[in-house]
Structure 1
Amino acid sequence: MFFETNETIILASASPRRKELLARLGVPFTVNASNADERPIENGEKPETYARALSSIKASAIYEDYPGTLVIGADTVVALDGKVFPKPKSAAQAVEFLQELSGQTHSVITGVTLLRDGAFTSFSSSTEVTFRKLDYALIQAYAATGDPLDKAGGYGIQTAGGLLVSEITGDYDNVVGLPISELADALRSRGLIWLKGDER
């Protein structure tokens, strides 16, 4: 890729999807997954605020052990009419989630936090996803694959879960787990990465 950096970058996520997306920038980074506990959403808290808060929690947990680095934390939530759908705890819960989302347009929101020198920068990106009207047999079959269990809302658009989707408005990468174009802009605007050939 055509970016360069002098930063030691850590991605505070175990998601292979986020790792693949961040690799598009072509700058070196390491993965150190955060084991920080995700807190539940508070009454009246907006999903966007919640996603940013979770990304900050993840970044902070890693930064404590690696001060002086640039830590990138991210967390994705699915929301419908203000209700947040986390990662389902079982196939049965995944079925419940997908039944609620069937035929509906929901928001996929990824919160991203950059933590460097003890200073936070957080933003969120939202994409609208519309599900087809799903029959129960299809929902059960997909839930039985186990694919929904590690994904917010109980589906992965980049896997067989994409068969549930009829329309998407916004950033596809954001639904996968990391709004890489917005992240690149945020890093460039802060001088943390730059185009090859740019004078420094």
Structure 2
Amino acid sequence: MLHSISEKFNIILASGSPRRQQFFKDLNIPFSVQLFDVEEIYPDNLNREQITNYLAELKSVPFNEILRPNDLVITSDTIVWFENKALGKPKTKEEALAILTSLSGNFHEVITSVSFKTQDKTHTLHDSTKVFFKTLTTDEIEFYIDNYKPYDKAGSYGIQEWIGYIGVEKIEGDYFNVMGLPVNKVYHYLKNLL
């Protein structure tokens, strides 16, 4: 359905996430991957989707000087929003353990922003999904961290992995958004560009 978008745009996905790359393959959208190292620092006064919007757009800045007329670069950022603060990716097992222990028996929001940048404009959209976790035991959390090493995941977990199977009681919103891309919104935005 969206294959013809490649006739109009050269799509560059600026994401190292295998999950995001797979979504684009599954949508049958031709794309290339190009990455720049961007330090993901945002102003302290930002909240919720302001953070993910800012970071998604920040990741597109290195492309400013190299975009050609038909290039469309897509960048994205995901956070877990819990008790009025953003939880990013854990750096250590201890940090992952602390994050998952705090999420256990609670609900949190997963917020993802996606930015679409061409030579003349930038458009950013976002989505939010509520995730409800059952109460997890320390053994369950440690088993997950030891076996799945969730250090590349906001909030220290992947909903599509073991902990999602046994820990998530319900969600409100887009499941794929929790995996890192609001696929429905991305599809419809790209469709409207044709």
**How high is the TM-score relative to the length of structure 1?**
0.89
Aligned counterpart, 1:21: 23
Contact 1:147 1:156 in 2 (8 A): no
* Paired amino acid for 1:167: K
Structure 1 residues 167-176 or 138-147, which shifts more? Answer: 138-147
- How far apart, CA to CA, are the structure 2 residues paired with 1:160 and 1:120? 37
Spell out the pairing of 1:169-188 with structure 2 (5 A cutoff). 169-188=172-191
Aligned counterpart, 2:146: 144
Contact 1:91 1:148 in 2 (8 A): no
* Paired amino acid for 2:75: G
Encode CA deviations 1:139-162: one digit per residue, 9 max, x unaligned.
111112243110000000112231
Aligned counterpart, 2:51: 50
Encode CA deviations 1:50-93: one digit per residue, 9 max, x unaligned.
00111111122234333431000001100112111100001110
Say which of 91, 102, 125 aligns to 1:123: 125
Contact 2:76 2:113 in 1 (8 A): yes
Aligned counterpart, 1:157: 159
TM-superposed CA distance for 1:41, in Å, is: 5.2
Aligned counterpart, 2:65: 64
Same amino acid, percent of matched pairs: 36
Contact 1:63 1:71 in 2 (8 A): no
Contact 2:3 2:30 in 1 (8 A): no
- How far apart, CA to CA, are the structure 2 residues paired with 1:2 and 1:77? 28
Structure 1 spans left out of the alignment, 5+ residues:
194-200
Q: SS of 1:64's equivalent?
A: coil
Contact 2:67 2:119 in 1 (8 A): no
Alignment RMSD, CA only? Answer: 1.5
Structure 2 spans left out of the alignment, 5+ residues:
none
* Paired amino acid for 2:55: L
Aligned counterpart, 1:9: 11
TM-superposed CA distance for 1:134, in Å, is: 0.6
Encode CA deviations 1:74-118: one digit per residue, 9 max, x unaligned.
011001121111000011100000011001110000011000114
- How far apart, CA to CA, are the structure 2 residues paired with 1:118 and 1:96? 43
Structure 1 residues 33-42 or 68-77, which shifts more? Answer: 33-42
Deviant stretches of 4+, over 4 Å: none
What is the aligned residue count?
Answer: 190
